[in-house]
A and B are shown apart, each in its own frame.
Chain A
């Protein structure tokens, strides 16, 4: 028998109302022992909302009691919610009372874990709950809600169905001789394969957009024109990247902000390249376009979780840029291959949390830069610890991309004359990649990792 668990389910810090949640077979006994409805223990026969008096052993207080008998509850167990005054010491007393009465303190994420284990929700929904809890802004909350209501699992289910159909065709072709009823013409297979690949590509774009909306931590490259921001961007995100910035010796080439994924300290981030600070330095000035670029640069900077302030060591400016918050900034002392002996001035150093000497041209110091960015992300707070929703997006995307890659490669091989049994093998692998998203084949350690990130009470 599973233990009955209890926890404070409302947000920490004084709110007007606090919630104690209890789930498990002993929930009814606990509630009857500490609550009175109309002067008597409540009967708790069906799903109800009561006005009650809660006794924490030291005194009574008014409470709302929400009773949800299993299996019609989130965890499919009997669940009780006590809505009490939001005072933290009172809530602590109330929780202590439920523990005295036989409940065990809930482990992080345990309510949701039970919901997942009881088949109440699939993994993407569980992740949605998690993201919702950790959502730190309104638009993140919206994205998490979308995840929760099943935006992704609906899509995955459709993709999975297409893939299953394709696999069935392929297997039938392998398991029956040409003469049999089950034999499938290759043309039909190829058409099915294209449809599934397109579906996956579309889902990838969709997942990408969603990741942007929910906001991976943003690390923004800023600095004077020709300080080497774009060269750095290309270096950090891989030179072959599709969104590669245009790099030229000519200052001010970057008009639009470009972004790509960059993982620092294990956290998936968006690295954003911006136009240079000073349009007047551009000899080919097209003022309208430049003004728009400058505006975007301003926006990107204010939305930055961390600012990488790139400085040309061979021609350093005298002053730090205005309005940069030193504790979220890293001074990137670039082009040390050209200026070996130069060192940043005290004034520049004071404007940043720390500084790193690099050469975008030779690649020197880039690993240190990653570490410094991760540290700044940690110092900046918020972004790093609550980056979980982002981790999820990164995971979903990786699984989708893997499935897409496997299918594409397999079809190319098939076209080149590789046998059908190998194609079937790739379809199986692609199915497994998709299944990792919804938890159908999620290994236990991944489950543990995901569930341990839930905050207590949800």
Chain B
């Protein structure tokens, strides 16, 4: 307990805050003249989960934000599964909420089934997930944008970037719309998802476009390539949608939500859950299903060699599952409602790009789906992404002043990952325009920080999805403490509301007070209540009995859990904090931007190539680059130190 200060931050983190270098924008601010001449401050292209958070974050920071979307009625669309959260992802939603973002509140208002996952495996890997009503989600997300002060919505197809020559190369000044209009802004945030040079595949048929019924953005893709940015291709898939009326529900296993559902949002004041709750269902593929898929595998675009992009290993198509896990005789299928007022059913687990008739044939072999009617067939999308190693930790493109990228355009997958990046990109675009210090989260501070750091030091070879194992300081980054970790910091720059920060402060103080009370109270045998609570099987209720002062604190459910976790994880958390401190020096050592890697003779050639290409800003980032080994990092450290001494000596 002594390792925390009055504000509840650990002292070692305080210390870190001092020793770690402050992050910097990669380009000098555009200046007030450029800002005054432009129509808006931050122009966000794309109204998906990244774009929404980017525009809202910029506006919260006091910048003028404009969001341009193909179709306003598609803002907040859930292009794939109608669900928010999940393992590794639920933590991001909680962080986005703690940072003032909209995703958590929208999900709370439109969720039709809430579950806490992984409850038996420990507090650090517990994660919330909900099924959403797709239509209501979209409406609530659009409402959040429309109601936000300082955000303007523009409908239009962006066909290109407006560039201008600046010292050191071209900069971005705005975007061009299909109708010939130009929108100008010193900062442009691209959140175009899978729409760059997008091709949809269903069996042998190919259609240009990033989502059913929507066009591809090829002009933009050309402009991005013209800027000299390196692109690569990825693919992602989506399963068929079925008609609820055609499913034999009696034959499926029912899977309900939690009896005591929890909201994503920390400040959730609305009645929760706000919508009626519904069950999901589970069924399985059969040997017959697998036979049909195997017999038609040559007609699957990826197996037939038509798709060149790499698909995700963690969310494979049903073709992949059947071919790669040949020993499994069945695979699970989650039958998920898309909403309360629609008959559309999302069949999670059978994403496919097989021809329509093959999809129908294999789906009809699944128990309960024998007579299922297809509302839409599954398809795969192949698209361009910008190799994210060209980004700074603010998600600004290092080579192009004024350009920021977030979401699937950076090679990531998932609404939550997109939202986290959108928030960081939008906030930093605003801060850059306003000539204020950037807002960067570090690996030990947030999953969002882990994600950004991962992206900028390595180019994903499959769509990047968050896993809790990516976070080496996972015990510090829990879904339950996102507000305690982040809200006060966000509020300090205006990113989160003051009241939310006050609430997080009060929560922290109450938790501390409870722990102090438990530490000062002894039971028979001379042991403190803290010691008892530390045992794996003990719960808060076990130690709260007969401690009136504790009852007077009237902790809510979340706070009681936080007390339990803080006490049980204390030793481990301290060790992680020590590790953070130990690595701080390396983490903070800045690599001079003009360092000539070619002159460092000791570097292994792979390391030299990657370092020269990725130009990591700190030794910590360098050490995480794949192919850079410890001797290379030592050599860099020694070189930097020698150079510093030489400069100091002269």
A173 to chain B: closest residue by CB: B121
Contacts A425-B576, A441-B630 known; A419 to B472 CB distance under 8 Å? no
Contacting residues, chain A, for B325 (C-beta < 8 A): 181
Within 8 A of A (CB), among B546-571: 568-569
Minimum distance in angstroms from B220 CB to a CB of chain A:
34
* A116/B631 in contact, CB under 8 A: yes
Cβ of A302 under 8 Å from chain B: no
Contacts A175-B468, A176-B87 known; A413 to B536 CB distance under 8 Å? yes
In the complex, what distance in Å separates the CA atom of A174 from the CA atom of B120?
10
* A440/B630 in contact, CB under 8 A: yes
Interface bracket on A = 35 or more
In the complex, what distance in Å separates the CA atom of A417 from the CA atom of B472?
23
Contacting residues, chain B, for A157 (C-beta < 8 A): none
Cβ of B629 under 8 Å from chain A: yes
Mask: chain B, 91-126; 1 = CB below 8 Å from A; 0 = not: 000000000000000000000000001101111110
Task: Determine which of A175, A419, A429 lies in contact with B123 in the assembled complex, contact meaning CB atoms within 8 Å.
Answer: A419
Contacts A174-B121, A428-B472 known; A417 to B537 CB distance under 8 Å? yes
A70 to chain B: closest residue by CB: B601
Minimum distance in angstroms from A361 CB to a CB of chain B:
31
Cβ of B602 under 8 Å from chain A: yes
Q: How many residues of B contact A (CB 8 A)?
A: 46
* B634/A447 in contact, CB under 8 A: yes
In the complex, what distance in Å separates the CA atom of A454 from the CA atom of B328?
57
Task: Determine which of A25, A175, A422 lies in contact with B122 in the assembled complex, contact meaning CB atoms within 8 Å.
Answer: A422
In the complex, what distance in Å separates the CA atom of A424 from the CA atom of B123?
12
Task: Determine which of A118, A419, A444 lies in contact with B631 in the assembled complex, contact meaning CB atoms within 8 Å.
Answer: A118
In the complex, what distance in Å separates the CA atom of A251 from the CA atom of B35?
94
In the complex, what distance in Å separates the CA atom of A77 from the CA atom of B118?
53
Within 8 A of B (CB), among A168-195: 171, 173-177, 179, 181-182
Cβ of A243 under 8 Å from chain B: no
* A171/B634 in contact, CB under 8 A: no
B623 to chain A: closest residue by CB: A441
Minimum distance in angstroms from A184 CB to a CB of chain B:
11
Cβ of B632 under 8 Å from chain A: yes
Contacts A174-B125, A181-B325, A419-B123 known; A76 to B630 CB distance under 8 Å? no
Contacting residues, chain B, for A440 (C-beta < 8 A): 630
* A175/B469 in contact, CB under 8 A: yes
Cβ of B604 under 8 Å from chain A: yes
Contacting residues, chain B, for A424 (C-beta < 8 A): 469, 474
Cβ of B637 under 8 Å from chain A: yes
Task: Determine which of B118, B472, B569, B631 lies in contact with A117 in the assembled complex, contact meaning CB atoms within 8 Å.
Answer: B631
Minimum distance in angstroms from B334 CB to a CB of chain A:
8
In the complex, what distance in Å separates the CA atom of A181 from the CA atom of B349?
11
* A174/B469 in contact, CB under 8 A: yes
Contacting residues, chain B, for A117 (C-beta < 8 A): 602, 631, 634-635, 638
* B122/A419 in contact, CB under 8 A: yes
* B475/A425 in contact, CB under 8 A: yes
* B632/A119 in contact, CB under 8 A: yes
Within 8 A of B (CB), among A98-123: 114, 116-119
Cβ of A416 under 8 Å from chain B: yes
Contacting residues, chain A, for B467 (C-beta < 8 A): 171, 175
* B125/A421 in contact, CB under 8 A: yes
Cβ of B79 under 8 Å from chain A: no
* B536/A418 in contact, CB under 8 A: yes
Contacts A116-B631, A117-B638 known; A422 to B87 CB distance under 8 Å? no
* A175/B88 in contact, CB under 8 A: yes
In the complex, what distance in Å separates the CA atom of A36 from the CA atom of B638?
37
In the complex, what distance in Å separates the CA atom of A173 from the CA atom of B468?
11
Task: Determine which of A76, A118, A174 lies in contact with B468 in the assembled complex, contact meaning CB atoms within 8 Å.
Answer: A174
Minimum distance in angstroms from A120 CB to a CB of chain B:
9
Task: Determine which of B282, B586, B604 lies in contact with A119 in the assembled complex, contact meaning CB atoms within 8 Å.
Answer: B604
* B572/A177 in contact, CB under 8 A: no
Cβ of B332 under 8 Å from chain A: yes
Task: Determine which of A2, A416, A417, A420 lies in contact with B602 in the assembled complex, contact meaning CB atoms within 8 Å.
Answer: A2
In the complex, what distance in Å separates the CA atom of A179 from the CA atom of B349?
11
In the complex, what distance in Å separates the CA atom of A439 from the CA atom of B474?
24
Within 8 A of B (CB), among A218-250: none
Task: Determine which of A1, A116, A118, A420 lies in contact with B121 in the assembled complex, contact meaning CB atoms within 8 Å.
Answer: A420
Mask: chain A, 282-311; 1 = CB below 8 Å from B; 0 = not: 000000000000000000000000000000
Minimum distance in angstroms from B392 CB to a CB of chain A:
26
* A119/B601 in contact, CB under 8 A: no
Minimum distance in angstroms from A418 CB to a CB of chain B:
5
Task: Determine which of B122, B469, B536, B630 lies in contact with A171 in the assembled complex, contact meaning CB atoms within 8 Å.
Answer: B469
* A443/B582 in contact, CB under 8 A: yes
Contacts A179-B332, A419-B121, A419-B123 known; A25 to B601 CB distance under 8 Å? yes
In the complex, what distance in Å separates the CA atom of A417 from the CA atom of B568?
12
Contacting residues, chain A, for B632 (C-beta < 8 A): 119
* B629/A119 in contact, CB under 8 A: yes
Cβ of B376 under 8 Å from chain A: no
Contacting residues, chain A, for B637 (C-beta < 8 A): 444
Contacting residues, chain B, for A176 (C-beta < 8 A): 87
Cβ of A442 under 8 Å from chain B: yes
Contacting residues, chain A, for B650 (C-beta < 8 A): none
* A1/B87 in contact, CB under 8 A: no
In the complex, what distance in Å separates the CA atom of A337 from the CA atom of B130?
74
Contacts A2-B602, A418-B536, A442-B630 known; A177 to B472 CB distance under 8 Å? no
Most B CB within 10 A of own CB, among A174, A413, A432: A174
* A425/B572 in contact, CB under 8 A: yes
Cβ of B575 under 8 Å from chain A: yes
In the complex, what distance in Å separates the CA atom of A422 from the CA atom of B120?
12
Within 8 A of A (CB), among B529-548: 535-537
Minimum distance in angstroms from A162 CB to a CB of chain B:
18
A419 to chain B: closest residue by CB: B122
In the complex, what distance in Å separates the CA atom of A420 from the CA atom of B117?
14
Minimum distance in angstroms from B73 CB to a CB of chain A:
34
Cβ of B599 under 8 Å from chain A: yes
In the complex, what distance in Å separates the CA atom of A413 from the CA atom of B118?
19
A417 to chain B: closest residue by CB: B536
* A177/B123 in contact, CB under 8 A: no
Minimum distance in angstroms from A178 CB to a CB of chain B:
9
Most A CB within 10 A of own CB, among B332, B601, B634: B601
Minimum distance in angstroms from A171 CB to a CB of chain B:
4
In the complex, what distance in Å separates the CA atom of A117 from the CA atom of B608?
13
* A177/B87 in contact, CB under 8 A: yes
Contacts A118-B602, A171-B469, A173-B121 known; A416 to B536 CB distance under 8 Å? yes
In the complex, what distance in Å separates the CA atom of A145 from the CA atom of B629?
25
In the complex, what distance in Å separates the CA atom of A117 from the CA atom of B636?
9
In the complex, what distance in Å separates the CA atom of A422 from the CA atom of B569?
8
Within 8 A of B (CB), among A388-421: 413, 416-421
B596 to chain A: closest residue by CB: A1
Contacts A76-B602, A174-B118 known; A421 to B631 CB distance under 8 Å? no
B117 to chain A: closest residue by CB: A177
Mask: chain B, 120-149; 1 = CB below 8 Å from A; 0 = not: 111111000000000000000000000000
In the complex, what distance in Å separates the CA atom of A148 from the CA atom of B332?
53
* A1/B629 in contact, CB under 8 A: no
In the complex, what distance in Å separates the CA atom of A174 from the CA atom of B579?
22
Mask: chain B, 447-460; 1 = CB below 8 Å from A; 0 = not: 00000000000000
A406 to chain B: closest residue by CB: B575
In the complex, what distance in Å separates the CA atom of A118 from the CA atom of B328?
47
In the complex, what distance in Å separates the CA atom of A119 from the CA atom of B606?
12
Task: Determine which of B475, B536, B582 lies in contact with A421 in the assembled complex, contact meaning CB atoms within 8 Å.
Answer: B475
Mask: chain B, 602-628; 1 = CB below 8 Å from A; 0 = not: 101000000000000000000000000
Contacting residues, chain B, for A428 (C-beta < 8 A): 472
Most B CB within 10 A of own CB, among A173, A182, A421: A421
* A119/B468 in contact, CB under 8 A: no
Task: Determine which of B468, B469, B536, B575 lies in contact with A429 in the assembled complex, contact meaning CB atoms within 8 Å.
Answer: B575
Can you name 5 A-B pairs with beta carbons within 8 Å? Answer: A117-B635, A118-B601, A119-B602, A175-B125, A422-B569
Q: Which 10 A-B pairs have the closest CB atoms?
A: A419-B122, A421-B122, A417-B536, A171-B469, A421-B124, A420-B121, A118-B602, A117-B635, A117-B602, A175-B467
